[in-house]
């Protein structure tokens, strides 16, 4: 029997802002099916492109952005997930700072916007399932790999790192043990610089040493922030 399966890509782009928390990049569909519904950026893979090329093209075409880091998440292939065709979607996810991007809706996207992870609209297709899977992966990943440093300024007070992890994990952390554990890994450098917050004493600044981190990673270190 002849197969007629198509392959698509979808992108779950998380945004982090210290004041707004975690948000998701969504596009409003211009055409049926699910016309006017909000959805994850994505579309069919062309015959002459890789999956990575396809997801980056779709993000550029539908949202006007180029995300530096995207990681493959999971494959979604229930027969009824797209009413038009039998479509298997390869989903990707990334984590960015929304302030670094200027959004622009194009091609089959009528609009594009960031939505708080706590106030999401109804999503098209099975995109809620894809999003839930990505949230679970993100919260699991940051517990064993320090991916969150890219969302901070180059130099930052330790309280900013604590806040980042509390928001990403959606739970309170033991601040004293958290700091002790992070410092023990050796990839965080304390600087001879301070910053004056709106209230309280000046806070010492830190910076992430990527070279040290990759050296530790090659040696097979075990990063684990759970206590």
Map out the domains of the chain as residue ranges: 5-143, 154-218
- Give domain 154-218's CATH number out of 1.10.10.10, 3.40.1360.10, 3.10.200.10, 3.40.50.720: 1.10.10.10
Distance (Å, whole) CA 164 – CA 36: 33
Domain pair 5-143 / 154-218, same fold: no
The CATH number that domain 5-143 falls under is 3.90.79.10
The rounded distance, in Å, linking the Cα atoms of 89 and 80 is 12
Which pLDDT score, from 0 to 100, does residue 79 have? 93
Q: Which residues of the chain have pLDDT under 70?
A: 221, 225-227
- List, for residues 104-148, the tens digit of each pLDDT value: 998 889 999 999 999 999 999 999 999 999 999 998 888 777 777
pLDDT for the residue numbered 13: 97
Which pTM value belongs to this model? 0.89
Q: Is residue 141 a contact partner of residue 21, using CB atoms and an 8 Å limit?
A: no
Measured distance CA(90)–CA(45) in Å, rounded: 10
What is the number of other CB atoms lying within 10 angstroms of the CB of residue 104?
13
CA angle, 139 then 141 then 146, to 5°: 110
State the Rg of the chain over Cα: 20
The CA distance from 95 to 14, in Å, is 5
8 within 8 A of 126, measured Cβ to Cβ: no
pLDDT of 212: 87
Q: What angle do CA 104, 110, 112 make, to 5 degrees?
A: 45
Tell me how far the alpha carbon of residue 93 is from its chain's centroid.
5
């Amino acid at each position: 029997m002849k197969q007629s399966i198509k392959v698509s890509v979808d992108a779950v782009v998380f945004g982090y802002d210290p004041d707004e928390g975690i948000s998701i990049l969504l596009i409003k569909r211009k055409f049926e099916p699910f016309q006017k519904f909000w959805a994850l950026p994505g579309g069919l893979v062309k015959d002459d492109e890789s999956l990575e090329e396809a997801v980056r093209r779709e993000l550029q075409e539908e949202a006007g952005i180029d995300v530096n880091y995207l990681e493959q998440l999971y494959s979604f292939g229930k027969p009824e997930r797209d009413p038009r065709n039998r479509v298997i979607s390869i989903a990707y996810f990334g984590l960015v700072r929304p302030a670094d991007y200027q959004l622009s809706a194009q091609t089959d996207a009528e609009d594009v916007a960031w939505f708080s992870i706590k106030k999401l609209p109804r999503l098209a297709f099975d995109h809620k399932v894809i999003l839930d899977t990505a949230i679970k992966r993100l919260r699991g990943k940051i517990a064993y790999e320090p991916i969150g440093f890219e969302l901070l300024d180059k130099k930052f007070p330790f309280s900013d790192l604590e806040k980042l992890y509390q928001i990403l994990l959606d739970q309170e952390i033991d601040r004293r043990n958290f700091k002790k554990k992070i410092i023990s890994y050796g990839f965080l450098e304390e600087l001879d610089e301070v910053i004056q917050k709106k209230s309280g004493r000046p806070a010492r600044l830190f910076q992430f040493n990527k070279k040290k981190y990759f050296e530790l990673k090659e040696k097979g270190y075990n990063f684990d922030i759970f206590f």
